[in-house]
Amino acid sequence: MAEQPPLDAYSQLVAGVAAKLTPKVASLRVPRSGSGMRSGESLGSAVVFTSDGFLLTNAHVVGGAQAGTASFGDGSSAPFTVVGADPLSDLAVLRAAGATPPPADLGEADELVVGQLVVAVGNPLGLAGSVTAGVVSALGRSLPTRSGAAARLIEDVIQTDAALNPGNSGGALADSRARVVGINTAVAGVGLGLAVPVNATSRRIISSLMRDGKVRRAYLGLVSAPAPLSPQLRERFGRSSGLRVVEVVPGGPADRAGLRTGDLLLTAAGQPVEKAQDLQRLMFSEAIGRPLAITVMRNGALVDVIAQPSELVAA
C-alpha cells in the first residue's frame, strides 16, 4: 500500500498550534444569579497565562460572578475565583484553586499584519477544545464598551474570519507559533469575529487586575471627535488631524483647566493627539491628580492649558 502523503504545510501549522494550545484553554462554567428562568450558568473560555494558576478571559463572561469552575482538556477541573474584571476593556483575571496546565505564551498583537494566519481555540456552544483557523481580516478596529455611565473604546481590536460562536468568548486567538495575540470577545456577524489584542495597553490592564483587582483610570470630562488640520498646521505638526472638543462636562477637569467647546486638541503630555485612543492611552492611574499639559488651537492661536485629571468612577 502506498504511503499516505504527509499533512500539507497549512494543516501542519494549524495542527501544531492546536496541539500546543488546546490543553491550556479552559472551559468555564460561571453561575448566573437571577429569578425564574434567568438563573443558571453561563459558558465561556479562559487561557492559562501564568504557572501559578492565573487565567485570562473576558469580563462579560464572568459578569458579576465571583467564582466558577474551570475544566481542562485532560479531564481535570478546578474552582476559580475572580481576581478582577474590567468591563471597559472586556478583560478579567481569574485564579484557579487547583493545578492548571502549563501557561500559554503571550504574543504581541501590534506585530500582526492583515492576511496573517490565526487560530482560535475555545469552547463554542459548550463543545470543549474546538479549533478554527482563518486570517487576520482587519486591524485597528474599535469596540465600544460601557460600565455604568463610563464609556470607552477598546482600541486596535483584531478582526478575523476564524469561526467564533457563543462560548468562544475568553478563548485564545493565536499566531502560527501558538502565541496568544488576542482574547476572543465578540461575534460581529457571519465570518466576522473580534478579539481584544494582547499588547502593551492590555498588559497594563492585566497587571492592574492582578495587583489591585481593578483598573484605575483618569478622567478629563470632555467629548471629542477627529477633525482635519489646516494646511498650515499640517505643515507645522506633520500630520493631518487633531481632536475637536465637542462637549466639556461642567465642573470637570477639562472645564476647570479652561478647555472650551470648539478647541482643537493637538498634543497632550507632549504626545500627538489625532484620535480618541491617543488621549485614552494617557488616562491610566499615573495621570490621576497630576498636571497634564495640553495644547489646543483656539480662534487661530495656539493655547497651552494645564489640566489635572481626576479618577474615573463608574456609576
Residues 227/261, Cβ–Cβ less than 8 Å: no
Rg (CA), the chain: 22
Q: List phi, psi (to 5°) of 7.
A: -60, 145
Instruction: Check if 60 is active-site.
Output: yes
Name the catalytic one among 27, 42, 89, 90. 90
- At residue 174, the 3 state secondary structure works out as strand
Name the catalytic one among 27, 42, 89, 169. 169
Question: CA-to-CA distance for 213 and 211, rounded, in angstroms?
Answer: 6
Name the catalytic one among 42, 60, 241, 263. 60
50 vs 22, 100, 119, 126, 276, CA distance in Å?
16, 9, 21, 24, 32
Question: CA-to-CA distance for 87 and 95, rounded, in angstroms?
Answer: 18
Cα 204 to the center of its chain, rounded Å:
11
Q: List phi, psi (to 5°) of 70.
A: -110, 130
Question: CA-to-CA distance for 137 and 154, rounded, in angstroms?
Answer: 18
Instruction: Check if 77 is active-site.
Output: no
* Grid cell in block for residue 21: 494550545
Instruction: Check if 169 is active-site.
Output: yes
Which residues are known catalytic residues? Answer: 60, 90, 169
